[in-house]
A and B are shown apart, each in its own frame.
Chain A
């Protein structure tokens, strides 16, 4: 059952008197209880996409076209008040930097409790109990004590767990996580990823997980969308992407991972640079770096072509 369906989303920004599209024509969907990973390098538009779902893009941004269907309703058409009912309650979001994402002058309890109080009427005791339960759920030891700590007193991993607890407070059906483990140590990262998988199994929560790290994708994704310079270039199940990658960019990403079993090998990289927002090439944005470029690639953005069941790419040549 499809929970979230993003259709033909285009989002742009006013930068220095120009308007540039950060995200073009993006479509994907998340089923109930599914973990979808949005993968790409910095600047490809994955964060903007995720922020657009909850309409949290900065004031100089605009959703130019598209629909975001959540449980049948188009989120783009809702009023600000209606969106507020959804934020934190039906769809929650977790951000990348846990230290700056938590308000430094409020205790952990205040911040988790607020998430509850904004959407539900509960007594103080109920709220306190809920907070303790949530902290236990996300794996924080001595939750009764940690409740009254301030964010700066916790470690990075603990802070991110608190963010997850806040996200879970009202039992959302979808959690959007924007690179939640990028700022953490690898071991802590592994714990957080395990936590996400547990939550998915226990509560059947859907997760839209944004990352640039393919190893993370391999660990938790059910399905994957690969983004480059504002468009989705390939979409499929995690097996499709890792075992039969089709798009040259996906292949390039996988190739550039250092392999363990060959000594003295040169590290492969994709030649060229990711274009910045204001200087994206015409046509397929990957064509300057693509080994398969032809004339058509410089003129138009390719459409989606379905390769096999649930696996599609946007490429003029391979599609």
Chain B
């Protein structure tokens, strides 16, 4: 176990190192420096530009910029070029906004996918299976923004529920009502992100269950006289769930990956939109930091996945 952990950590650190270099260079090699944002602006005198550049170290050689940049990143001193505020702080604020959406979406996805997928597999070809399959394909294929608008039209016309933003503007009341207001606003975006996830995950669960149910040891279990429920939920499920235990580790990168589209439509001030705005305004520190954090999360996620896999499957030697 220990050699695996050490090897894994070393490999992932090396990968992270390469990622840091690549993201840094790609952004800097791309056309368009931030100091050129307003080249036509008469207030940007050559002196101002020079000061701007030296302040952001743009006049130093690339590798020095790289070192300074990452030093600042880790110490939290790195500041956004758009509004001068510390990057980590900005990210943290937006992260807290995205977090409820992420939690609710993920919870919905993972708790609903399994019953649906398992039931579809056990009663393969039945009405439940056919209906679930139909909806799964529908939700996989529908473009997110289109579905969002369909939902908005439907919900607004039927329930007259506020839809845009995190909370109703100017709404102040006691905390229970504020809480409910938040829930209302969170409702459609979470459902939106969950439906796609449920559609994909439940299909995968279904196909895994079907594959396991076709195995010989299921036949042995029946030959032993094991009751049908146990055949499905004890013998088959335990094997079918194996890949999903490892998938769970890959949920972690989702923390930083707020959906740009959903956040744009609902004007939700989350991380996705922040990334989008940062890219548009060439706010390098924010972009690179987000990239870096995302990479770290992916690597942590895969590491946890591998670890869980080793623990869960007795065939893997520890």
Contacts and interface: CB of A to CB of B under 8 A. Distances in A.
B219 interface: yes
A166 B225 CA distance: 11
Given A150-B314, A150-B315, A152-B315, A103 B217 contact: yes
Given A84-B227, A150-B315, A104 B222 contact: no
A119 B225 CA distance: 8
A150 B216 CA distance: 16
Interface in A186-236: none
A101 B219 contact: yes
Interface string A78-105: 0010001111110011010100111111
A80 B219 CA distance: 15
B225 A56 contact: no
A107 to B, nearest CB: 8
A91 B68 CA distance: 76
Contacts of A106: 238
A118 interface: yes
A93 B223 contact: yes
Interface residues on B, range: 20 to 34
B224 interface: yes
Contacts of A105: 238-239, 242, 313-314
Contact of A56 (B223, B228, B239, B315): B223
B221 interface: yes
A255 to B, nearest CB: 34
A100 B216 contact: yes
Interface string B201-221: 000000000000001110111
B235 interface: yes
Given A150-B314, A150-B315, A101 B227 contact: no
Interface residues of A, number: 28
A98 to B, nearest CB: 9
B217 A118 contact: no
Interface string A101-140: 1111110000000110011000000000000000000000
B14 interface: no
Contact of B315 (A93, A104, A115): A104
Contacts of A115: 224-225
B161 interface: no
B219 A95 contact: yes
A54 interface: yes
B155 interface: no
A215 B315 CA distance: 36
Interface in B223-260: 223-228, 235, 238-239, 242
Given A95-B216, A100-B217, A104-B239, A118 B222 contact: no
A118 B222 CA distance: 11
A102 B223 contact: no
A102 B224 contact: no
Q: Could you say which of A87, A92, A95, A103 has the most chain B C-beta atoms within 10 Å of its C-beta?
A: A103
B217 A54 contact: no
Nearest to A96: B216
A86 B314 contact: no
Contacts of A56: 219, 222-223
Q: Could you say which of A100, A105, A163 has the most chain B C-beta atoms within 10 Å of its C-beta?
A: A105
A298 to B, nearest CB: 38
Nearest to A85: B225
A101 B225 contact: no
Given A101-B219, A104-B239, A105-B242, A86 B225 contact: yes
B220 A118 contact: no
Contact of B227 (A92, A95, A118): A118
Given A100-B217, A104-B217, A54 B223 contact: yes
A92 B313 CA distance: 29
B235 A103 contact: yes
Given A103-B235, A105-B238, A105-B239, A88 B223 contact: yes
A56 B223 CA distance: 7
Nearest to A116: B224
A101 to B, nearest CB: 5
Given A100-B216, A101-B216, A166 B242 contact: no
Contact of A87 (B215, B225, B235, B242): B225
A87 B222 CA distance: 8
Contacts of B238: 103, 105-106
Nearest to A99: B216
A119 B226 CA distance: 9
Contacts of A150: 314-315
A97 B242 CA distance: 22
Contacts of B225: 84-89, 115, 118-119
Interface in B111-129: none
Interface of B: 215-217, 219-228, 235, 238-239, 242, 313-315
Closest 5 CB pairs of A and B: A88-B225, A87-B225, A88-B224, A100-B216, A103-B217
Given A87-B225, A92-B223, A102-B220, 13 more contacts: A56-B219, A56-B222, A85-B225, A88-B224, A93-B223, A95-B219, A101-B217, A101-B219, A103-B221, A104-B314, A115-B224, A118-B226, A163-B220
Interface of A: 54, 56, 80, 84-89, 92-93, 95, 97, 100-106, 114-115, 118-119, 150, 152, 163, 166
8 contacts: A85-B225, A92-B223, A97-B216, A100-B215, A101-B216, A103-B220, A115-B225, A118-B224
